Amino acid sequence: MGSGEKLIVTVENRVTRITFNRPERRNAVDFEAMQQLHDAIQQAARDDTRVIVLTGAGDAFCAGADLQARTPEQIKSYDVTAGLRKHTTPAILAMSRMPKPIIARVHGPAAGIGFSYALASDIRIASDQAKFSMGFIKIGLMPDGGSTYFLPRLVGYAKAFELMATGVTIDAAQALALGLVNQVVPVEKLDSAVNALVETFLAAPAIALGKIKEALAYSQSADLGSALEFEALNQADCFRSEDFLEGVNAFLQKRKASFQGR
C-alpha cells in the first residue's frame, strides 16, 4: 500500500499502521486525508492484516477537520450533508464493520473528528499527554463522525451531553476515569504498551476475535434474546475452526496455544 503525504500507511508483519501526517496542522484532516483513511481501512480489511494501529505524526493525534481548507464563500455554498455522507460516514462504517481490532494510539490532542476517529476504534491507549475535546460546539456545529453513537455508550448520556454541549477539553486521567480510554501510560512507554497489545491480538484466534467485535457491534441495538441467538449462530464459525481444536488440545495438554487464524 502506498503512503500518501497526508496519511502514512505501513504494513509489516500483518500489522497496518495508519498515521495522520500533517504535524504542522496538528494532523487536521481534509477530504483527501479522509478518503485515504477510508481506502487504508478497506485495504486492511481485505489483506492479511490482523491488527490496525491508528495514530498521528508530531505532537497531536488529530485536531479535527481542517477549517482552513475552505473560504467563507465556499462554506456558504457547501452541501455539508453530502460531504459527510461521502467523506466521513464511509470510513467510520468501515472501521466499525471490519472484523479486525483497531487500536487508537493517542499520544496528544484528539479533537473534533479526530476524537470521533478514536471513538470508532476498538480500544484506545493514551499517553499522559493526550487530550480529548468534542470542540464542535465552539464553532457552532453539532458533533459528527459517529460520536453521538459511540460517546454515550462509553460514558453515559449525561457525560456525553456535557462533553458535547460545553466543548470542554479533558486530559488523559479524566478520560481514563470516564472509561473513554483503556490505558494511560507515560509518553515514553506508549509504544511498548501499544506493541504489547498488538502482540496479544496477533497471537489471538482471529476468527473468535472478529466475532467478538461483530457481536458487540450487533448488541448495541439488539435485545438479549437476539444477542443470544447471534452468539448461537456465530459460535459455530469458531467451533469449526482449526484454532478451536488447537485451543482445546493446548488446554488439555497444559501448554500455550498456537493459533493460526484458521
154 pLDDT above the threshold of 60: yes
Mean pLDDT of 26-45: 95
4 pLDDT above the threshold of 70: no
Helix axes 113-120, 147-155, angle to 10 degrees: 60
CA distance 54 to 9: 10
CA distance 6 to 33: 6
pLDDT tens digit sequence for 202-250: 999 999 999 999 999 999 999 999 999 999 999 999 999 999 999 999 9
In the chain, pLDDT over 70 holds for what percent of residues? Answer: 98
Which amino acid is residue 99, in one-letter code? P
Predicted pLDDT of residue 137: 95
Neighbours of 228 (CB within 10 A): 11
Mean pLDDT of 9-28: 96
Q: Is 256 exposed, middle or buried (0-12, 13-18, 19+ CB in 10 A)?
A: exposed
pLDDT confidence band for 74 (50 / 70 / 90): confident
Mean pLDDT of 57-77: 85
pLDDT confidence band for 68 (50 / 70 / 90): confident
CATH 1.10.3470 correct for 205-252: no
114 pLDDT above the threshold of 70: yes
pLDDT tens digit sequence for 174-188: 999 999 999 999 999
Q: How far is CA 185 from the centre of its chain?
A: 18
What is the rounded (10 degree) CA torsion for 3, 31, 106, 261? -60
Which amino acid is residue 107, in one-letter code? H
In the chain, pLDDT over 90 holds for what percent of residues? Answer: 90
To the nearest whole number, what is the mean pLDDT of the chain?
Answer: 94
100 pLDDT above the threshold of 50: yes
Mean pLDDT of 105-126: 97
CA distance 84 to 256: 46
Burial 189-204 (b: 16+ CB within 10 A, else e): ebbebbeebbeebbeb
Predicted pLDDT of residue 76: 81
Pair type for strands 51-56 and 169-171: unpaired
Q: Which CATH number is associated with domain 7-202? A: 3.90.226.10
Q: Would you list the domain boundaries of the chain?
A: 7-202, 205-252
Q: Is 30 exposed, middle or buried (0-12, 13-18, 19+ CB in 10 A)?
A: middle
Predicted pLDDT of residue 3: 47
Predicted pLDDT of residue 2: 45
